[in-house]
Structure 1
């Protein structure tokens, strides 16, 4: 009898939850212990149809200063209190660690997303002004006349200072121009990170050793001094300081269909006061269609369909006029020119 009552209570709980604004999933776990390797978005999607409602779901935890930080070992408990669903967090869960994972610290919060999906764009590929690469040192030839040049090969380059022995450079290739979709104003150029090299012998040309290569190194590729600036990946989800509206202008990695964890370029950056961690809602732009009924007096010949919410993204790297963002979740396929603006909830 107790077992039947327990099953009934679980069914009632999920039915009650389904009737609230939170849209908690019917198969959401009643108890879950956060594990190393989890991500916040992954856990939120276990509970919610819209993971951006995570803060609302955790409102029963006033002791939690940052609802977007979960730690391995914390226990999540889904309960129903006074007809309202609540997810409480307690410490002290037991987690089983493999020998490989045991060596890693577990006192750091789980990341919001798998960091591997944005790693290539945190320090490598970047956005530059045209002249930044136009007047940069460039590769003129390979030392051993190899057709394909990679790590371990030597290259010759012009434009490097004679005092640059042992200096490290990043190798870039000019990519596409990012444009404002309305004005067609150029906002910047993609500088595709090809690899890295180190000066072996200064001169004109200088001799460099390719230390790493993401793809084939070619003549005319440009060289910029390597930077070792620390990149913060402890993102705090937040709303932009001001109202902003822009568009997705490109998608990185050469894909056409944009979905979860894809990296996109938006036409707003430092000039729009965007910061890493800012969340933007994505809307599919409504089409303008012909009125299917022959226009009469007072009727419009064309109908502008409304914009439809299609997902959310997080800004993770900001340049002067554009930013890189990663799609946190999507309710439908996203496309270049989709609108991005302030989210309703976060």
Structure 2
């Protein structure tokens, strides 16, 4: 169900230099940039040829900005490795952080190897190799990928785990919110089917309890159970951005009558009469996105925490920001987190002075609704609080 509204104006315009710096990050995934400015030490000189002096630079610089037109500088870590072997538990962000100061610039140095199946994906055991191309641009590629040999085995029953490509962010940090996060309008929640009662006149229900529900022609075998949660509001204007749902568990259909009969399963919190049933959507490819910065001039606010049991926002905390599909948000968008500005009294000259909020970390969007998005805190450089601003990094 979609919620529509007029587009919100997104903050004040950033400087032209910032816009040019970020322009190159909107390229298609894993396409290396041509001739970018490099912030790094030069590669070793070829034998018999004099090596360049000082930091390497790309093509002629753009007018007045010290950068190639439309290009952002690739900021390499001075201690980056020449090779790295991917291990289980790695993420695209963690690997990129080994080579780049700005992990979202990964696609600018990635070189596709067309001789390898699925060249876009990286798996545990892959050996990544850093080098420079003939034009002097940094690049990263899979230097080695070992295929699993075929073995003749005697017939037996066994269980194998398939090797999956590494995800962009830790799966455990977002998996529950991807599958169980719901934000709908208040009227949309009221239209959903609801739990009427159980079969034993109890006030709360749990796993294996039989319950009855109404409000729909139930045609699926399983549904998710939600309790209508808090309303999310636009900072400043107070406009409603939707109502979040609190995931409680699942309900398995026994009889599709009126009322229908369900059995509760996988409950993580008590279920009550009035809780809502939501159809379970088909699984989607939710880990195919890659880190990339939001467009210039994007500005929003952290308006809620997804895990209400945790009081502090730290690394790998999930939060809600007041930017959604209407502002062009998409999974993989990276934003910088800044604290709120504050006013202090000048003890010498008198009057109040505005102190700007300092950068507090980085946030990556991983699920987008119409009006809001879920973001994962990738870096927490100082305290992060509700109402902190999120901006173009």
The alignment's TM-score, normalised by the length of structure 2, stands at 0.68
SS, match of residue 41 in structure 1: helix
Deviation at 1:126, TM superposition (A): 1.0
Among 328, 333, 337, the residue aligned to 2:387: 337
Q: Which residue of 1 aligns with 2:176?
A: 120
Does residue 196 in structure 1 map to residue 250 in structure 2? Answer: yes
**What CA distance in whole angstroms lies between the structure 2 residues aligned with 1:146 and 1:212?**
19
**What CA distance in whole angstroms lies between the structure 2 residues aligned with 1:118 and 1:68?**
22
Among 18, 35, 40, the residue aligned to 2:87: 35
SS, match of residue 253 in structure 1: coil
**What CA distance in whole angstroms lies between the structure 1 residues aligned with 2:331 and 2:88?**
24
Asked if 1 retains the 8 angstrom alpha-carbon contact of 2:111 and 2:140, the reply is: no
**What CA distance in whole angstroms lies between the structure 1 residues aligned with 2:104 and 2:221?**
45
Asked if 1 retains the 8 angstrom alpha-carbon contact of 2:222 and 2:280, the reply is: yes
Deviation at 1:326, TM superposition (A): 0.9
Asked if 1 retains the 8 angstrom alpha-carbon contact of 2:315 and 2:380, the reply is: yes
Among 163, 175, 187, the residue aligned to 1:105: 163
Does residue 216 in structure 1 map to residue 270 in structure 2? Answer: yes
Does residue 238 in structure 1 map to residue 292 in structure 2? Answer: yes
Among 24, 49, 53, the residue aligned to 2:77: 24
Deviation at 1:235, TM superposition (A): 0.9
Deviation at 1:204, TM superposition (A): 3.7
Asked if 2 retains the 8 angstrom alpha-carbon contact of 1:284 and 1:334, the reply is: yes
**What CA distance in whole angstroms lies between the structure 1 residues aligned with 2:380 and 2:147?**
31
**What CA distance in whole angstroms lies between the structure 2 residues aligned with 1:88 and 1:227?**
37
Name the Cα RMSD after superposition: 3.5
Deviation at 1:257, TM superposition (A): 1.6
Does residue 247 in structure 1 map to residue 323 in structure 2? Answer: no
Deviation at 1:189, TM superposition (A): 0.6
**What CA distance in whole angstroms lies between the structure 2 residues aligned with 1:121 and 1:217?**
19
Deviation at 1:165, TM superposition (A): 5.8
**What CA distance in whole angstroms lies between the structure 2 residues aligned with 1:119 and 1:144?**
34
Q: Which residue of 1 aligns with 2:366?
A: 316
Q: Which residue of 2 aligns with 1:288?
A: 343
Deviation at 1:339, TM superposition (A): 0.7
Q: For 1:198-249, what per-residue CA distance to the aligned partner results, in whole angstroms no more than 9, with x for missing partners?
A: 3323344322111332221111211233322524321122233563211000
Cα separation, partners in 2 of 1:101 and 1:286, compared to 1, 3 Å: farther
**What CA distance in whole angstroms lies between the structure 2 residues aligned with 1:77 and 1:168?**
46
Cα separation, partners in 2 of 1:25 and 1:319, compared to 1, 3 Å: same
Deviation at 1:127, TM superposition (A): 0.4
**What CA distance in whole angstroms lies between the structure 1 residues aligned with 2:175 and 2:113?**
29
Deviation at 1:131, TM superposition (A): 0.9
Number of residue pairs matched?
A: 310
Among 153, 174, 190, the residue aligned to 1:134: 190
Among 70, 75, 90, the residue aligned to 2:127: 75
Asked if 2 retains the 8 angstrom alpha-carbon contact of 1:310 and 1:331, the reply is: yes
Q: Which residue of 2 aligns with 1:9?
A: none
Asked if 2 retains the 8 angstrom alpha-carbon contact of 1:122 and 1:231, the reply is: no
Greater helix share, structure number: 1
**What CA distance in whole angstroms lies between the structure 2 residues aligned with 1:335 and 1:239?**
21
Q: Which residue of 2 aligns with 1:156?
A: 212
**What CA distance in whole angstroms lies between the structure 2 residues aligned with 1:293 and 1:69?**
59
**What CA distance in whole angstroms lies between the structure 1 residues aligned with 2:260 and 2:180?**
23
**What CA distance in whole angstroms lies between the structure 1 residues aligned with 2:278 and 2:194?**
9
